[in-house]
Amino acid sequence: MLRSSVVVLFVAFAAGCANSPPPPVAEPGAPPPVAPVAVETSPAPSAAPAAASAKPALEEATKPPPAPTPAPVLTYKGAFATPESVLYDAAGDRYLVANINGSPNGVDNNGYISELSPDGTIKTPKLIAGGEKSVKLDAPKGMGIVGKELWVSDISVVRKFDLKTLEPKGDIALPEATFANDLAVAPDGKVYVADTSVKPGPKGFEPLGGDQVFVIDKTGKAKVLAKSKDLGGPNGIAFGPKGNVLVNSLLSNEVYGIGPKGEKIDIVKLPNGGLDGMVVAGDQLIVTSWGASAIYRGKLSGTSFEPIVQNVSGPADIGWDSKRSRILLPRFLDSVVEVYEVK
């Protein structure tokens, strides 16, 4: 049964120093050290007389058991340090993994990008690494491919790298950003970046109140699309079939669109919160939840979401292998990357 009263968020590892080793692997399904965050969910049904409850109980007993959680088809280990996001590079048929390697807002220049093969091989543990070959990379999170460049969100900027030579190609400043998170490239070529606006505290992530979503136009200039505490720690970004931007909330259980005045529209509430990664696959929206330690799936046009993968601690910013219909899951707390097939 899904929890309905609280959502939990990670922090125990967040204060790690720049040269700290990768976090230890947790037991599967073990809850991360977290701080409670209130989440609005559906109220529990009211009590009913004993006589009236007998029939529903009998009907419940005859229902088939829930489907078992699928096992990953691939698990990558040994190359990661706080993996936050995975991106499928379709042209290169490879997976790219952003590793924070320390505090998620630490300016330490030791973040890096790993390169994986879809056959289960770790091709290059550090394809792009902070502190090497003139690379600056502190706490990389969201990634996207724009033309022949890899764009990576990094605290207060978006860093650009040549996909072939891997050389730095400059930064795009995000005004007043403090926790640049997911990054997504829209069908029209614009790039959207979420600023979750939180900081690690003694009991969990603490909101800073500067929640915002940026849009970067084709000239490379960033402007604020939406800015409000009501955004609830914007985290994952994806796009609907008409190119409409969708955002989910780290500090609640909401997925919403952005209206013409920067307001939240078309709000959908998931069964649990602490939302992070989000991808669109056909007519399906797939979202990770720290609160449920799960991956949810639902119709883009619907309001019902069900877990398709459960008991995964620290499910962060997922990628989507469109060639093989695979979810690419970075497990932030355990420093592993898992791959799940979706049917």
Q: Are strands 284-289 and 198-201 parallel, antiparallel or unpaired?
A: unpaired
Q: Which has the closest alpha carbon to 235: 10, 3, 5?
A: 10
Q: Which residue has the tokens 């292998």?
A: 321
Class of domain 74-341: mainly beta
- Give the chain's largest Cα–Cα span: 74
Least-confidence region, from 52-56, 90-94, 169-173, 181-185: 52-56
pLDDT score of 23: 41
Identify the three-state secondary structure at position 41. coil
Mapped onto helix, strand or coil, the DSSP state of residue 82 is coil
Q: Which of 166, 167, 111, 169 is nearest to 158 (CA)?
A: 169
Residue 108 has pLDDT above 50, yes or no: yes
Task: For residue 7, name the pLDDT band (cuts at 50, 70, 90).
Answer: very low
Per-residue model confidence as pLDDT tens digits over 269-283: 999 999 999 999 999
For 87-102, the pLDDT digits (tens) are 999 999 999 999 999 9
Q: What is the pLDDT of residue 66?
A: 53
This prediction has a pTM of 0.81
Question: Tokens in use for 335?
Answer: 């420093």
In the prediction, which pLDDT does 305 show? Answer: 97
Residues 256-272: tens digit of each pLDDT: 999 999 999 999 999 99
Task: Give the CA angle between residues 182, 184, 186 to the nearest 5°.
Answer: 155
Q: What percent of the chain is modeled with pLDDT above 70?
A: 80
